[in-house]
Copies of this chain bind each other. A is one copy, B any other.
Amino acid sequence: MTRETASRPAAPRRRRADAERNVTAIVEAALDGILAGEEVTMAALARAVGVSRVTLYSHFPTREALLDAVTDRAVTDARDIARELRLDDGPAREALARMVGSQWQTLSRYRDLYAVAVAELPPARLRALHAPLFGSVKKLITRGQAEGDFRTDLPRDWLLATVYALMHQAAEEVNAGRLSARRAGDTVTETILSALRTP
């Protein structure tokens, strides 16, 4: 049925709803596949979701477009988790500790996706996708500086980079068996707070 012959009022809306469900199913299947360490090809993905390759390519013309959507989805998940931490409550140093204690685990869970995204998405785009997360941490750093707990002698963007570099490294060390998963949260939190503390 072509658009011109869609005579009943409900049809366009239903097609949009179908398309949205397809996009969600494709992104979720791709994310699951990457996190399971599978090589996610467009053909295998179409089969897994039960859509035609034409439908898949109509939503995601390239593998990069798909990976972009998958990364965006993972960042949204991480932001939803971060929201529950009530980062605006209490001293910024305590809120940052809550954030780090929670987010390094999220990073750890999405580690395989991150490796694929780093290899296949342009760095500027990868950073833009992470902007919501970086924004909330930068806000915390700024608040901690105003409260006198965080240093002001180093560039704020560098302090932000320090937080993420150490969280990524903690995930890496746990994955390689060099740091116990049980100790990792406290260890990386303590290291980050030491690096950011007013000297």
Contacts and interface: CB of A to CB of B under 8 A. Distances in A.
The range of chain A's interface size is 20 to 34
A187 B155 contact: yes
A119 interface: yes
A interface: dominant SS = helix
Interface in A161-186: 161-162, 164-166, 168-170, 172-173, 176, 178-179, 183
Contacts of A170: 158
A9 interface: no
Contacts of A166: 162, 165-166, 195
Nearest to A169: B165
Contacts of A173: 157-158, 161
Contacts of A179: 155, 157-158, 161
A146 B155 CA distance: 32
A83 interface: no
- Chain B CB count within 10 A is highest, among A164, A168, A187, for A187
A24 interface: no
Give the residue among A162, A164, A178, A187 with the most B Cβ atoms within 10 A: A162
Interface of A: 119, 123, 151, 153-155, 157-158, 161-162, 164-166, 168-170, 172-173, 176, 178-179, 183, 187, 190-191, 194-195, 197, 199
